[in-house]
Amino acid sequence: MTGPYQGALASVARQRGILGAMVVDANDDIIVDAAVRHGVKAPTVAALAASIYRKARQSAGAAGLGDTTFLRMEAEQGHIFAAGRGALVLIALAESTVNVGLVRLAMLQAASGLP
Amino acid sequence: MTVAVAETWVEEPLRRFVDEARVLFALLIHPSGQVLGQHGFTRAVDVMSASALAAAIHASGSAIGKEMESAPFGELHHGGAARQIFLARTPTPRGDLVLLSVFDRSSSVGLVRVYFEELRGALAAAAPAAAPSPGLAATFEQELNRSLAALFGRAEPVGQPVPDA
């Protein structure tokens, strides 16, 4: 893998149970770079998750809580994680059995290294 | 969200798109400029202007695409300071249609693209039986006026496809 975002993507994607990781433009909700398993509807997941992250950011700001650093959505069969930095959002899609703590740590570290 | 249609089969797909993509304006037209449905416009003259401009932009984009890639461009996005436009072609059994949508920061081009893909599928499924696309014929202006009248409540929308020109 090459490119400025591949390090961040690889550090998240190599966690057990991760189905895909994407770097998404936080304003346009469009994928900048991604490493996802076959069958993942990456553009759809990216657009919707980045949109939710943006709303969460606005909500936290409106509540006076500061910036949103990490967001986890739990569904019946898995999780969606999001961590932002500047104009980018790192999004990961994971199975329900994933180690949430490890993924959170990996996501925050990877997001802090985004350009 | 309120949508007005000149042909009833586009109503539900367009309404769903407007609801979910959170666009401010939506205009579904035939490439000739004939309007099938709209959301957000309050004056017929604005619909006329927007549909004429959208048809022209689509025609230009198609021509440039053919020059550069031997195929028409499918989508066009223009990001403005406060508002953005997304213009895209959607094939249906009744021929190609063009969607013009305008959105602000409450949506995004990524979201609009996602819901546009759903709109494409819904329109393709909802379109009446295949019929040649209407061309610019002697009845074009009449059809244009009829669709504008239907959009603004001066005529009933048709439940059947527009008769072939």
Mark which residues 32-61 of A lie under 8 Å from B by CB: 43-44, 46-48, 50-51, 54
Q: Which residues pair with A82 in a beta bridge?
A: A71, A91
Q: CA B112 to CA B109: how far, in whole Å? A: 5
Structure tokens at A91: 């999004």
- Global pTM? 0.83
Chain A and chain B share a number of CB contacts under 8 A equal to 34
pLDDT, position A2: 67
**Order of all β-strands in the sheet with B84-92:** B4-5, B35-39, B25-29, B95-103, B84-92, B75-79
pLDDT, position B57: 93
**pLDDT 10s digits, B2-56:** 899 999 999 999 999 999 999 999 999 999 999 999 999 999 999 999 999 999 9
Choose the mutation target among B83, B107, B111 for the interface with A, i.e. most A CBs under 10 Å.
Answer: B111
- Which chain B residue has its CA at the smallest distance from A44's CA? B114
CA distance B63 to chain A (A): 26
- Which chain B residue has its CA at the smallest distance from A31's CA? B110
CA distance A20 to chain B (A): 18
**pLDDT 10s digits, A27-56:** 999 999 999 999 999 999 999 999 999 999
pLDDT at B134 over 80: no
- Which chain A residue has its CA at the smallest distance from B118's CA? A44
Print pLDDT tens along chain A (115 aa): 567 899 999 999 999 999 999 999 999 999 999 999 999 999 999 999 999 999 999 999 999 999 889 999 999 999 999 999 999 999 999 999 999 999 999 999 999 998 7
pLDDT at B131 over 70: no
pLDDT, position A28: 94
Residues from chain B that touch A48, judged by Cβ atoms under 8 A, are 111, 114
**pLDDT 10s digits, B82-129:** 999 999 999 999 889 999 999 999 999 999 999 999 999 999 999 987
Could A51 and B111 be called an inter-chain contact, meaning their C-beta atoms sit closer than 8 Å? yes
- Which chain B residue has its CA at the smallest distance from A49's CA? B111
Write the DSSP string, A2-30.
-STTHHHHHHHHTSTTEEEEEEEETTT--
Could A28 and B110 be called an inter-chain contact, meaning their C-beta atoms sit closer than 8 Å? yes
CA dist list (Å): B11 to A100, B5, B68, B90, B131: 43, 6, 35, 15, 19
pLDDT, position B138: 64
Q: Are strands A71-75 and A31-36 parallel, antiparallel or unpaired?
A: unpaired
pLDDT, position A46: 96
